[in-house]
Amino acid sequence: MDKFLQLLQEPFWWVSVVVVGLVLNLISSYLRDLIDKSTCKFLSKLRSIVMKDIDIVIKESIKTESDPIILSIIGSSIPSLQLDAVVYRIIGIIIAAIGYSHLHNGLPAFCFLIAGVLLFMWGSSKDALARKRNLMLTYILQRRMKAVQQPGER
């Protein structure tokens, strides 16, 4: 503590603090601009990907709107996909936790960890498919409701 107090009394300490502060301020202003630009680019790419997916869902919805069998298959598959997603995620978390807790045992535990992560990701893909089908049915129902409310326009 005495050494620190002696260091505070020297002018070199105060000059170095000011110089380091100015340098950090200068770097942070450039980094903020860089982070802002990269975030904007990322979000615009993400938005374009989402809009393409929505367009695909709308086109698929228009194709399947007239077939009641396909609509019933899509509608009945949503709950099972959601249940599969939850089950795969829970099992994946449990298996990954077992693998992580025994990671010091070597390769078998690492395989458990990887298997758990893969099961969790598989559950996420099932959930994404269920959301896509749900969006498709929602779009079809909205079109039908609009057609009923405004006959003649479609």
Q: Is residue 84 part of a domain?
A: yes
Please report which confidence band the pLDDT of residue 42 belongs to, taking 50, 70 and 90 as the band edges: very high
Q: Is residue 45 part of a domain?
A: no
Tell me phi and psi for residue 102, to 5 degrees.
-110, 25
Q: Is residue 12 part of a domain?
A: no
Q: Is residue 135 part of a domain?
A: yes
- Whether the per-residue pLDDT at 154 is higher than 70: the answer is no
Please report which confidence band the pLDDT of residue 63 belongs to, taking 50, 70 and 90 as the band edges: confident
**Mean pLDDT on 117-127:** 88
Q: Is residue 113 part of a domain?
A: yes
Number of compact structural domains in the chain:
1
64 near 136, Cβ under 8 Å?
Answer: yes
At residue 1, the pLDDT reads: 73
Q: Is residue 73 part of a domain?
A: yes
| Structural domain span for residue 87 | 57-148
Q: Is residue 139 part of a domain?
A: yes
Q: What DSSP string describes the chain?
A: -HHHHHHHHSHHHHHHHHHHHHHHHHHHHHHHHHHHHHHHHHHHHHHHHHHHHHHHHHHHHHHHTT-HHHHHHHHHHHHHHHHHHHHHHHHHHHHHHHHHHTGGG-HHHHHHHHHHHHHHHHHHHHHHHHHHHHHHHHHHHHHHHHHHHSTT--
Q: Is residue 112 part of a domain?
A: yes
**Mean pLDDT on 46-60:** 86
